[in-house]
Chain A
């Protein structure tokens, strides 16, 4: 029997427009929120997996028409969506994940009940959900470390936090290349995979 092959896309949603987003920086003058924290904002409460699915479906239909939406519809599923961290894992069939990726890349605005400008980053494509979960964990650890470092450098009042999360941070040590707090999204592995799929 042949196994049905999927691809799992690990997604970050970024909200570039500070005015319309839900998380506003703290207003107290002493609490300067570091850039890394501001960059990864939480999603609004109304945003959930269903909205994300709709966004993708509409985007694919717009870009690739009936053909694209037909190809993608059978296998598309949002496996995980966390509002607090704006992270999601989306499942598509292996043959058509590039359609979904394209739709995600071209998305500029969340659909209607939310209606907010956004940028969607695909940070990892993997064959098993396990690997994308591991990648999500790694990235979460990394961002915690960066946030803490940033907070420490600016007098931050997060003294109690280091104690709460050391065991989460200690295990992973490798660093993603960062430029101003933005990861290099083109992981070499992803590129390889792309090449494989085309070839």
Chain B
């Protein structure tokens, strides 16, 4: 091949002319002198042109002497092919994206287009060059010219500083004069003669904890809320609660900035891990005689079988956690919240159970914290012998992590402290084992930390004994930062060993009193963490590629780790059993030690690639929803916390609705409900429990009495101020005056009040017992006419339920309509067993023969009416309204719409044959869908 013109070398250089950030001003080529344009711009354009030109061959070079023969013919074509292909390649590169656009989605950073340092290292040089070409160099904050507000602030700071310095100087002067006079002559000023030891402050129990005092720089931003220990991490990467509207007095991450609905689902089910900083969960410590603590628990509604039954021996020994619903002690025994309870293993010598003084943690959602706290205080006062109650809210932080890679990531972050420094190990363990029946004969050979490290390769904590718990001390995670992928199981023998461990669970015998229950240990772990500088120095001294050696003086961070499986005992649908058994780990650690653990966790390189993701509140709810579990407080509208959440949601939805122009929002008053009825049932943007309770077809005396009670009650002033006006407007907008006048009277005062007092929530256990046998013994205080039960609904046909969707039972008073609805059941359809789309007849092949087509025609005539057709059955009447959907969406795990809602248990009980088939209608639409429900 003899090229006539040499092929131009490809140019992969920086930004082309077309995709530059700063475009040149349009210039007239005639008047464009050589000096007007910087040299490099011409270079760019030339480069571009060169990249686009294709090299060619002249005839004389291709065909020697102009002779036509096959070999030169073929060579000339080959040359052309090469040239064109090169050209294609080069122009593709010349089309180039800028460096920051090449970064994969999860690595994109805000303002990466302005700041080279936000681009990954391998692209940094190129990005720098592009920015230089564009004349948009990176400006660091330090060198940026302060503008606008910032300048004002800086000036103020400068002035204040000058003032402060002046004042300090004045203050120092007279002081020096007086002290020198007062001091004896022989003592030099400034030297300390005696060390004055300050008194260690007595721990005040039964007092609400105060948030830790933040650094002065951040103090002003935490006046009305507290930051989580990992706030800075999240604030950069997630949408946080608005500064003016913290949730539960914390700045909580709501959702990551990057798109994460599907990635979260994948990370938690297939590959990866999702972690949350759950430090907002509140911890209450009870300390006292075991018998009196148990008595307190009994008073707030922990079941008898948990308190004394054989099944919960391990919980009482302190090697399992217990999830239970707690209730108020006084009538009406309102449900407070689901609470996790952990006993500390008893290390003392008292053998009589009653005499033991023990500690216990109660972990409760912050929205219900205050309610539980009050209740515990009240109970502790009357408990004999006394129980002390302590608020550990800002002392203990927590992380939750789920997904197949969760255990692996935790193993990479938590390195157990060496046991060398504690010599009395064996003796402790001997005592611990005594209460544990099943495992007392297990040879005690390893500590909890060692067992923990043997869990490498565990992909699902649900494999371990249910609610298993590990308490041990870990090293400062910063010593092992950045974390490296741990060695995973390779052989079958190792896999077998893991199974053996999970079956025998040696922790039961080896667990001793966990240090996290010990105030001193927590405190010393928090205060003795070395500075980052000291850690860096130690890391620098270590051999290259090695982590620094553990020293006996290293701080020992007490952690408590427990697994919880998402599987609810009530699960009955098969698909869930197979998919959603993903367990999760909860890690408790001292508040101040949480941040380094978090960083180690987040940067752990998973063996399956990538790193653990982090989630916000939305992800938490999403995963709970996909597991079919209700999320507290949102899915428990019968509790106080849940009611507040619902009110908050209402307000949000209403303002969103109002924001839209009239033509573009759902006009709830025009919704056709079928049978000539018009207008949404209740308020369209709310799960209108008041309407459900108070405007039934048969007005109950009790309910009416309830209303009057509520009208007398003075709600908190600010609630009334916020609530009434929008509600009033809403009612005016929505209702036809005549029949709804009464409803208005009823609804208005209710919206202002915190919660209708008769509304109560049943726990899953109670609900199941009640539904199994109508005469089941329930605590007598439960008012069945207004008790709610949380259920999970799966739509049987198409459709996706949304929050606020109305749930109806099958029509009770209209047998014809009921028959129409039942005809829609997929199990009643003739072609149910056919493969293909579950929503319609399978498609015929194009060349189907005539008789097949006719058959299809007949089939389609028998086909039940589709949604939207005239024959589609209308929604049942309001008397059949039984509840609302509180969470609903398309479920990625199930591949169809599901929802979690609450039903009035009284209207659910007498269902008859098709008792678990209900109808769901989204708020603002007239279309009902069949759904099957089960207690969640």
Contacts and interface: CB of A to CB of B under 8 A. Distances in A.
Contact of B68 (A38, A140, A150): A38
B70 A83 contact: no
B70 A168 contact: no
A82 B69 contact: no
B71 interface: yes
Contacts of A168: 78, 81-82
Contacts of A151: 70
A147 B70 contact: yes
Given A44-B59, A133-B87, A37 B68 contact: yes
A42 B63 contact: yes
A85 B68 contact: no
Contacts of B85: 137
Interface string B346-358: 0000000000000
Interface residues of B, number: 31
Contacts of A161: 70-71, 74-75
Nearest to B67: A26
Contacts of A165: 74, 78
Given A42-B63, A130-B88, A133-B87, A141 B81 contact: yes
B127 interface: no
A137 to B, nearest CB: 5
B521 interface: no
B822 to A, nearest CB: 53
A147 B87 CA distance: 25
Nearest to A47: B59
B80 A23 contact: no
B58 A45 contact: yes
Contacts, number: 119
B927 to A, nearest CB: 41
A33 B68 contact: yes
Contacts of B74: 144, 147-148, 158, 161, 164-165
Contacts of A56: none
B768 interface: no
Contacts of A148: 70, 74
B900 to A, nearest CB: 48
Contacts of A38: 68
Contact of A23 (B56, B59, B79): B59
Interface string A124-163: 0000011001101100110110011011000011101100
Contact of A31 (B60, B69, B82): B69
B57 A23 contact: no
Contacts of A82: 56-57, 80, 83
B70 A85 contact: no
A84 B81 contact: no
A157 B71 CA distance: 8
B81 A42 contact: no
Nearest to B71: A158
Given A42-B62, A137-B84, A141-B81, A34 B56 contact: no
A34 B78 CA distance: 18
A24 B80 contact: no
Nearest to B72: A84
B66 interface: yes
Interface string A35-49: 001101111110000
Nearest to B73: A37
A25 interface: yes
Contacts of A136: 80, 84
Contacts of A105: none
Contacts of B61: 84
A85 B84 CA distance: 13
B54 interface: yes
B76 A37 contact: no
A133 B80 contact: no
Contacts of B75: 161, 164
Contacts of A140: 77-78, 80-81, 84
Contact of B58 (A34, A41, A84): A84
A14 to B, nearest CB: 14
Given A136-B80, A164-B78, A168-B78, A24 B71 contact: no
Given A42-B59, A83-B56, A147-B73, A23 B66 contact: yes
A108 interface: no
Interface in B27-74: 54, 56-63, 66-71, 73-74
Nearest to B1: A164
A87 interface: yes
A45 B54 contact: no
Given A83-B56, A144-B78, A23 B87 contact: no
Most buried by B among A23, A79, A136, A148: A23
Interface in B84-135: 84-85, 87-88, 91
B77 A85 contact: yes
A43 B57 CA distance: 11
A80 interface: yes
A97 interface: no
B56 A81 contact: yes
A20 interface: no
A11 to B, nearest CB: 14
A141 B57 CA distance: 17
Contacts of B59: 22-23, 42-45, 83-84
Given A22-B63, A22-B66, A140-B78, 6 more contacts: A42-B62, A83-B58, A129-B91, A150-B70, A164-B78, A168-B81
Interface of A: 22-27, 31, 33-34, 37-38, 40-45, 79-85, 87, 129-130, 133-134, 136-137, 140-141, 143-144, 147-148, 150-151, 156-158, 160-161, 164-165, 168
Closest CB pairs A-B (n = 4): A84-B62, A23-B68, A84-B76, A42-B59
12 contacts: A25-B68, A26-B68, A31-B69, A37-B69, A84-B57, A84-B79, A133-B84, A136-B84, A140-B80, A140-B84, A161-B71, A168-B78
Interface of B: 54, 56-63, 66-71, 73-85, 87-88, 91
